[in-house]
Chains A and B, each alone.
Chain A
Amino acid sequence: MTIKGKAYVMGAFEHPTRDAPDKTTAQLHAESAKGALADAGLTFADVDGYFCAGDAPGFGGLSMVDYMGLKNVRHLDSTETGGSSYILHVGHAAQAIAAGKCSVALITLAGRPRNGGNRPGASMKPGPGGLSDGAPEAGFEAIYGGSTHNTYGMCAMRHMHEYGTTSEQLAWIKVAASHHAQWNEHAFLKNVVTVEEVVNSRMISDPLHLLDCCVVTDGGGALVVTSPEVAKSLNRPKVRVLGAGEAPKGQMGGAGLDLTYSGAVWSGPRAFEEAGVTPADIKYASIYDSFTITVLMQLEDLGFCKKGEGGRFVADGNLISGVGKLPFNTDGGGLCNNHPTNRGGITKVIEAVRQLRGEAHPKVQVQNCDLAIAHGTGGSLGIRHGSATVILEREA
C-alpha cells in the first residue's frame, strides 16, 4: 500500500498573531484549528483524527482534544520530532486515511515564546504577571489532589450507585488475577487471595481497597510488529493483527459527564468491526487492570456483557482460566504480576501473544486459543483518558 493519491490537504491557516500576551497556548491551538477547518468548510464535529507534537499543552493530545471538545476522534497521534513534526504528521495522516482510520485529520501547532512559554509542552511555571501557560485544565483540576486512586474511585462509586455493583464483585477480579499469578515465577505478588481478603484490606480511596489496586513495579517490555513477508521468514508462531480501535474520552466541558463508561465504548466496536469478529468469539482477554473497577467497566464497554452487569459477569471465578467463560490476564496482570512504570498497556499485548502462541504457563494456557483481545486505558478513567483495543489471531 502507498499513500500516493489517498489523501488531500483541504484546509490551511496561519494564525495572524506574532505576539500573543492575551491568549493561552491552548487557545492559539484551537483558534488555528478553527481557522483551518473554516478554510476547508468543516467544523470541530467533522474531525476524527487529531495530530499534535510537544508544543501541545497537557497530556499527549488528550488535553487539546478535550479543550476543543473534539467528540469524534478515532485516531490520535502525538509523535514529536521537533519542528518537523507537522510535516511528518501529514504523512502519518495520509497513512491513517489510506487505512480507513480517519477521514478528517486535524494537525495543530502553537506557542508563545515571546510571552514566556518558549518550550514545547508550555511551561507550568508562572511567567510575566504571575501567569502560567501549561495544561489548560491545570488550574481547575491539579489543585484538588486528584490521584489515580480517587479519580478511579469516583468511577467505582458512581457505578455502584447506578448499577448496584458491590465491593465483593470487584474483588473477584483481583481473586482471578491472583489465581493466575501463582503460576508466574516473575509475578510481584504470587499469593492467591480470597474475596474476603480483598474487601477486608484497608480502604485506600472509597470504594477501592488496597487489593483493588495494581502493583507498583520497575520493568519494561517491547514488541516487534512485522510485515507478512517478514513474519513468514521467521521461525516463530504467527500472531496476526486483525483489528484496532482507539478513542479519547474527556470531560468535554462537563456537560453530561458520565463516569460509568470509558472510551472502550468506541475503541472496542471499531476493533471488532475491522477484525470481523464479536466479543463472543474471543478466547482470551488482556484487560488493563490498574484497578478492579477498570476491568469491570471495560468488559462492559467492550461488549462482553451489558452495561451495569459487569459485577455479575466477573463474579464466581468467571475470569479464571479453566474455570470461567472469559480467561483474562493470565500472567496475573497489573493487579498481581507487573505494571512497569505505571503503564500496563504493553504487558497486556505480551500475555495475549503468549496465549496465542500457546506459550502461556500450562496451568493458565487457554485451550485452542486462536483469538485474543488486548485492551487498555491510559490517563485516568475519571478525568480524561485514551482507550485502545487490538484484536489478535493465531495464524495456522
Chain B
Amino acid sequence: MSDVMTRPIPAPAVNIESKPFWDAAAEGRFLIKRCTACGKAHWYPRTICPLCGSDATVWEESPGEGEIYSFSILRRAPTGPYALAYVTLDEGPAVLTNIVDATPDEVRIGMRVKVRFQETEGEGPPAPVFAPTR
C-alpha cells in the first residue's frame, strides 16, 4: 500500500483579473467564468471570452465536480510523488490541477473528483485541488 499523494503548493500569482477568484477561494468557494454572449464556460478565467471574444463574462460559483481527463504521476519529487492532471468540469472546461488524497495506484482517467482548497505556502490564498469522490 502506498500513501495518498500530497504536495506543497506555492502561493499563486494573483493579478487584478483573477483576484475575485482567489478572494472567493479564501472563502472556500470555487468560481468559474461564463460568457453571457455565447453561454459557454471557460478556464482559466478571463475578462474576455476565449471562445467568442465577447467581454460579457461573469463569475459563476461551481460545485467543482468533474472527472479526470488525463494525469501523470511524477515519481521522484523531493516531497514525494504527485499527480498532475486535467479535470473536465461538469460545466465543460478542463482545469489543470493536482489530484490529492489518492494513492498513485488508484488514479484513473474517468475517475470522479471534486474540488477542495489547499493552503499554499507563504501569504497566498488557498489553491483548488481535486480529490476522488468516495
Q: Which of A66, A134, A154 contacts B86 (CB 8 A)?
A: A154
Q: Are B9 and A144 in contact (CB under 8 A)?
A: yes
Task: Find out whether the CB atom of A69 lies under 8 angstroms from the CB atom of B51.
Answer: yes
| Residues of chain B with a CB closer than 8 A to A145's CB | 7, 74, 77, 82, 84, 98
- 1/0 per position for B29-53, CB-CB distance to A under 8 A? 0000000000010111111111111
Pairs across A and B, CB under 8 Å, 29 listed:
A24-B17, A67-B50, A68-B48, A126-B13, A131-B16, A133-B15, A136-B46, A139-B13, A140-B12, A141-B96, A142-B13, A144-B98, A146-B84, A150-B73, A150-B74, A153-B74, A154-B72, A161-B70, A203-B75, A204-B74, A204-B76, A205-B72, A207-B72, A253-B51, A253-B93, A254-B43, A255-B40, A255-B42, A255-B94
- Residues in A with CB closer than 8 Å to B40 are 253, 255
A144 pairs with B16, CB closer than 8 A: no
Q: Is B123 an interface residue (CB 8 A)?
A: yes
A158–B69 contact, CB under 8 A? yes
Contact call B48/A31, Cβ cutoff below 8 A:
yes
Instruction: Check: A124 CB closer than 8 A to any chain B CB.
Output: yes
Instruction: Let me know if B50 and A153 touch, CB within 8 A.
Output: no
Q: Is B14 interfacial (CB-CB < 8 Å)?
A: yes
Whether the pair B48, A140 counts as a contact (CB closer than 8 A) is: no
Q: Report which of A143, A203, A257 forms a contact with B69, defined as CB distance below 8 A.
A: A257
Q: How far is the CA of A130 from the CA of B17 in the complex (A)?
A: 13
- Give me the 9 closest cross-chain CB pairs, A-B, nearest first: A153-B72, A69-B50, A254-B93, A253-B42, A253-B50, A140-B44, A257-B94, A254-B43, A158-B70
B residues less than 8 Å from A133 (CB atoms): 15-16
Of the candidates A27, A134, A150, A257, which one forms a contact with B48 in the assembled complex, judged by CB atoms under 8 Å apart? A27
Q: On chain A, which size bracket covers the interface? A: 35 or more
Quote the shortest CB–CB distance from B21 to chain A (angstroms): 8
Interface residues of B in 58-89 (CB under 8 A from A): 69-77, 82, 84-86, 88
Task: A251 to B76: give the CA distance in the assembly, Å.
Answer: 27
Smallest CB-CB separation from A57: which chain B residue? B15
CB-CB under 8 A for A139 and B84, given A251-B94, A252-B50: no
Tally chain B residues at the interface, Cβ within 8 Å: 53
The docked-state distance in angstroms from the alpha carbon of A66 to that of B107 is 29
A322 within 8 A of B: no
Decide if B127 is an interface residue (CB 8 Å cutoff): yes
Q: Does B18 contact A (CB under 8 A)?
A: yes
Residues of chain A with a CB closer than 8 A to B45's CB: 140
Structural contact, A139 and B74, CB atoms closer than 8 A: no
Residues A149 and B74 in contact, CB atoms below 8 Å apart? yes
A154 in contact with B85 given A139-B14, A144-B9, A144-B97 (CB within 8 Å)? yes
Is A196 on the interface with B (CB-CB < 8 A)?
Answer: no
With A143-B120, A254-B94 known as contacts, the answer to whether A206 contacts B84 (CB < 8 A) is no
B127: chain A residues at CB < 8 Å are 143
A136, B17: Cα distance in complex, Å: 9
